Amino acid sequence: MVSLLVVFLDLSFLSSQGENTNMPLTNTNIINAKATGTVQKLTDGEGLYLYISPSGGKLWQMAYRFNGKQKTLSFGKYPAVSLQDARMRRAEAKEQLAKGIDPGAQKKEAKIAAKTAQKEAENIFETIAREWYVSYSPSLTEKHALKLMRYLEKDYFPAIGKIPVTELEPMRILDVIRPVEAKGRINTAHRLSNLASQVLAYAQITGRVKYNIASGLTRALRPDRAQSYASITDPNGIGVLLRQIDEYKGHFSVVYFLKILPYVFTRPSELRLAEWSEFNFEEAMWRIPAKRMKMRREHSVPLSPQVIVMLHELKEFSGEGKYLFPSVRAKTTVLSDVGPLAALRNLGYTKEQMTLHGFRAMASTRLNEMPGVRPDVIEAQLAHKEQDSVRLAYNRAEYTEERRKMMNGWAEYLDGLR
C-alpha cells in the first residue's frame, strides 16, 4: 500500500500576513476585521483561516498537505458560512484526510457529479415536456392547454417521465398509448401520439436528441375516424328545434344562450364566455379576443338585427354585470355548458341527435347549399384554420361585408324555418 504523508501546515505559514495566530477566532474578531487594502488571513487553528481580500470580502479556507503537496480548500463566504459551519467543514476534511482521501479532489468530483445529475434531470422526458408546455400553451385556449397537461400527468409522466429522451424508444411510447387504443378511444390515442411527437420535436430543436422518434407514430395505430358532432340539419327539424327553444322555460342565461347560438354559430365556449365589453352595437359587431379563440386570433362576428334585439332583451337581465350569461348560481361567474346541454336533453334531444357544437354544423351545412354564398366566406365566419397565411389575410380584410350580408341572410332563413 502506498503510504500517504498528511501534514497540516504550521501556523507560522499564515503569521506573516495574518493576525491572532495563537488563539482561535471569535465572532467578534471576524466582525471587527475591516479591509486594509492588503490581504489578511485570520487563523483559527488546524489549517482553518479566514481570508480577507483587500476590499474586505471574507472567505473561509483551509490549508493542508496531501501526498507531500501543499493545497487549499475553500468552504464558502462569510457570513453565509458561519464560524461554526467552517469548523464543522474543517472537521469533515480532517476525517477525509485521515482516511487517505483528498478533500479538495473529493469536492471537485462531487461538483462534477452534481452537474451530471442536473444535466440528466434536464434531459428526462418530464422536464422537456414541461419546458415545451410553458412555451406552447400560451398559444392555446385554457381548456385545450389543461387537457394536454392532463394527458402528460396522467399517461406519460408516470410511465416515461423519468427516462432521458436519448434512451427512449418508439415502443416505450406505444406502451403508453396501446391501453388507450385497446379501450376504443382511438381519437385520444392519436392525440397522445401527436403530443409525444410535439414534445420530442421540441427536444430535437433544443439539442437534446438528434431524431424525433415519435414522428409518424400514428401509423402504428388504428385509423382515427372521428365522428362529427351530432347536429340537426334538416330544415323542418331546425324549425321544430327553434320553436322548442322559444318555448323553453328556464334561467335567462340558458334560454338566451340557446336562442342566440344558432344565429352566431360560434364555438359554444366563445359565446358562453362573452363579455359585454366585446360588443359594439353601433357597428353591429362582436369582436372575440384572440385569447378565447381556438386559433388564437381575434374573430369578428357581424350581428344581425335579430341578434341585436335578443342582446337588448338580455341586457335587461345581465347588462350591469361583466358577462352576458352569468352563472345560475352567481352573477360574478359565467354559465357552464351543463345548463344548455341539460336544456337540449330536456327538450328531448339525445347526444346522438343534437349537441351545442351541432349548431355550427347546422349553419355550415345549410349555408353551403344556399346560392350566392361562397364557401370561403363560410369558412372565414366559422373561424376555421386557414393554411395559407396570404389567403387568411385576404379573408380577414375583404370578407367583412360579405360575412355581414351572409349573417343577415342566415338570420332571416332561421326566422323563416321557425
How is the chain split into domains, by residue range? 12-112, 125-220, 235-417
Backbone dihedral angles phi then psi of residue 67, each to the nearest 5 degrees: 55, 40
DSSP-derived 3-state class of residue 387: coil
Would you write out the chain's pLDDT as a tens digit for each of its 418 residues?
Answer: 334 334 333 333 343 344 455 588 898 888 888 888 899 999 988 889 999 999 889 999 999 988 888 988 889 899 999 999 999 999 999 998 888 888 878 888 777 666 666 666 678 999 999 999 998 888 777 888 899 999 999 999 999 999 999 999 999 999 999 999 999 888 899 999 999 999 999 999 999 899 999 988 888 998 876 556 789 999 999 999 999 999 999 999 999 999 999 999 999 999 999 999 999 999 999 999 988 887 778 899 999 999 999 999 999 999 999 999 999 887 788 999 899 999 999 999 998 899 999 999 999 999 998 988 988 889 889 987 544 444 454 555 558 899 999 999 999 999 999 9
Residues 6+ away with beta carbon under 8 Å from 230: 351, 352, 353, 354, 355, 358
CA distances from 135 to 9, 178, 296, 375 (A): 55, 28, 15, 34
| CATH 1.10.150.130 at 125-220, yes or no | yes
Q: Give residue-wise pLDDT tens across range 156-177.
A: 999 999 999 999 999 999 999 9
Architecture of domain 12-112: 2-Layer Sandwich (3.30)
What is the CATH topology of the domain spanning 235-417?
A: hpI Integrase; Chain A (1.10.443)
What one-character-per-residue DSSP string does 117-171 give?
HHHHHHTBHHHHHHHHHHHHGGGS-HHHHHHHHHHIIIIIHHHHTTSBGGG--HH
Q: Cell numbers 344556399 label which residue?
A: 370
The reported pTM is 0.52
Question: Are 108 and 60 a contacting pair, CB within 8 Å?
Answer: no
Give me the residue label for grid cell 360575412.
Answer: 403
How many angstroms separate the CA atoms of 243 and 348, rounded?
13
The candidate with the shortest Cα–Cα distance to 410, out of 385, 380, 378, is 378
Q: Name residue, grid cell 385569447.
A: 291
**Distance of alpha carbon 251 from its chain centroid, rounded?**
35
Task: Kindly list the catalytic residues.
Answer: 267, 294, 357, 360, 384, 394
